[in-house]
Chains A and B, each alone.
Chain A
Amino acid sequence: AQSVTQPDIHITVSEGASLELRCNYSYGATPYLFWYVQSPGQGLQLLLKYFSGDTLVQGIKGFEAEFKRSQSSFNLRKPSVHWSDAAEYFCAVGAGNSGYSTLTFGKGTMLLVSP
């Protein structure tokens, strides 16, 4: 079965500084990987996804993520954090057959942005 580990429960970053959120996955085949963001009391919004091809994927809100098969990682990055980026971030891996997939989510990383 697939699994996702987000090693950092909380991260605090100064506004304007760069950000990297870590994600490690476990899955036997080529994974489908996703990053989602959740504001308090809300649903999750898809930031970006990786299926195949270029290992550096661009998403919304200036985020990007890099797939590294050798490290089983899919870390999320942003060059300059804005106060509005404060939220909880979830990494997810998709697995399934017959063309369908369920997603397994990590436990999330809470991003705090300091002035």
Chain B
Amino acid sequence: DGGITQSPKYLFRKEGQNVTLSCEQNLNHDAMYWYRQDPGQGLRLIYYSQIVNDFQKGDIAEGYSVSREKKESFPLTVTSAQKNPTAFYLCASSITGMDGYTFGSGTRLTVV
């Protein structure tokens, strides 16, 4: 079945370490997105990519980086510059965005 796979489901890291969250899709979607979810805050856009080798900053890109070397993959790196990295991270993909997103099941990152 087609879908989006995020791994790992839970991730623990020490403060000051960079960490990379994986997102893979086999839906043949052009666009991919990373959102951060905090309790009571809804979803906030970190980065998005409409095509391979191109991506744009979202509303809260500081302290994060991404790459889009393959259509299927859009990994997110949470760097040590991100002041409050503990959150639930959601990856999504779509054909154009206007058709709506398909979401992965998320990665819960805890930094201690």
Q: How far is the CB of B98 from chain A (nearest CB, A)?
A: 5
Bound complex: CA of A45 vs CA of B50, how far in Å?
21
Q: A99 touching B98 by the CB < 8 A rule?
A: yes
Which of the 9-residue segments B37-45, B67-75, B76-84 touches chain A?
A: B37-45
Whether A107 pairs with B40 at a CB distance below 8 angstroms is: yes
Q: Could you tell me if A43 and B45 are in contact, using CB atoms closer than 8 angstroms? A: no
User: Per-residue CB proximity of A99-115 to B under 8 Å, as 1/0?
Assistant: 11111111110000000
Tell me if B101 and A32 are in contact (CB < 8 A).
Answer: no
- Does B100 sit within 8 A of A, measured CB to CB? yes
Point out the residue from A34, A41, A100, A101 that lies within 8 Å of B106, measured CB to CB: A41
Please, how many angstroms separate the alpha-carbon atoms of A36 and B41 in the complex?
Answer: 15
User: Does A46 reach chain B (CB closer than 8 Å)?
Assistant: yes
Quick one: CB contact mask for A33-72 with B, threshold 8 Å, 1 for yes? 0101000011111100101000000000000000000000
Within the complex, which residue of A46, A51, A99, A107 is in contact with B42, where a contact is CB–CB below 8 Å? A107
Minimum distance in angstroms from B50 CB to a CB of chain A: 5
Which residues of chain A from 59 to 101 have any CB-CB distance to chain B below 8 Å in the complex? 90, 94, 96, 99-101
* Complex-state Cα separation, A51 to B96, whole angstroms: 13
Assess whether A17 is interfacial by the CB under 8 Å rule: no
Q: Are A108 and B103 in touch, CB under 8 angstroms?
A: no
